[in-house]
């Protein structure tokens, strides 16, 4: 049966923007979950290594502190250096800062957000193009 002589009813494309919004929200959720899980994993690994390093430095400092009256000038410099390293390791962050993570989320979400806004602004045009496309395939 041919549909060329008949007037076609336009297809309703009103679900395009809500569908795109759902996809965009899913992308945001996935991006945030990925960044949070990586931050947690890195924090755990770095925390374990930091604890191991602090224990090692602490035992070296304790060994030198037990001999404080008999320390040579070289040992005293080494003790001071070990204390500085211990303090640096103790004060070091476990993972990237929150502002850095938020910046990564914003950079990742910029293109999909702009695409969604363009789609929402051009919904009427998209509907006309979709209707022409569907007419070509006879639906």
Residue 102 CA: distances (Å) to CA of 36, 112, 117? 10, 16, 21
- Residue 131 domain flag: no
- Residue 95 domain flag: yes
Total number of domains in the chain: 1
- Residue 24 domain flag: yes
- Residue 8 domain flag: no
Distance separating alpha carbons of residues 94 and 79, to the nearest angstrom: 25
Distance separating alpha carbons of residues 86 and 58, to the nearest angstrom: 7
Asked if 43 and 94 touch (Cβ cutoff 8 Å), the reply is yes
Average pLDDT over residues 77-99: 84
pTM for the structure as a whole: 0.51
Q: In the prediction, which pLDDT does 81 show?
A: 92
- Residue 136 domain flag: no
Q: Given the structure tokens 């899913």, which residue do they identify?
A: 26
* pLDDT classification of 9: cutoffs 50, 70, 90: low
- Residue 130 domain flag: no
- Residue 84 domain flag: yes
pLDDT tens sequence across 10-49? 555 567 778 878 888 888 888 888 888 888 888 888 889 9
Say whether 7 sits in a helix, a strand or coil: coil
Q: 43 lies in which domain range?
A: 16-118
Q: Above 50 in pLDDT, residue 1?
A: no
């Amino acid at each position: 049966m041919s549909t060329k002589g008949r007037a076609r009813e336009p297809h309703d494309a009103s679900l395009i923007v809500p569908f795109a919004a759902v996809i965009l929200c899913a992308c945001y959720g996935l991006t945030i979950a990925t960044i949070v899980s990586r931050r947690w994993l890195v924090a755990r690994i770095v925390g374990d290594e930091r604890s191991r390093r602090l224990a090692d430095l602490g035992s070296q400092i304790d060994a030198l502190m037990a001999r404080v009256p008999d320390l040579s000038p070289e040992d005293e410099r080494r003790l001071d250096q070990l204390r500085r390293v211990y303090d640096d390791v103790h004060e070091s962050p476990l993972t990237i800062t929150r502002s850095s993570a938020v910046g990564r989320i914003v950079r990742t979400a910029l293109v999909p957000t702009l695409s969604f806004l363009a789609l929402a602004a051009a919904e009427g045009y998209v509907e006309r193009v979709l209707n022409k496309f569907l007419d070509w395939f006879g639906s």
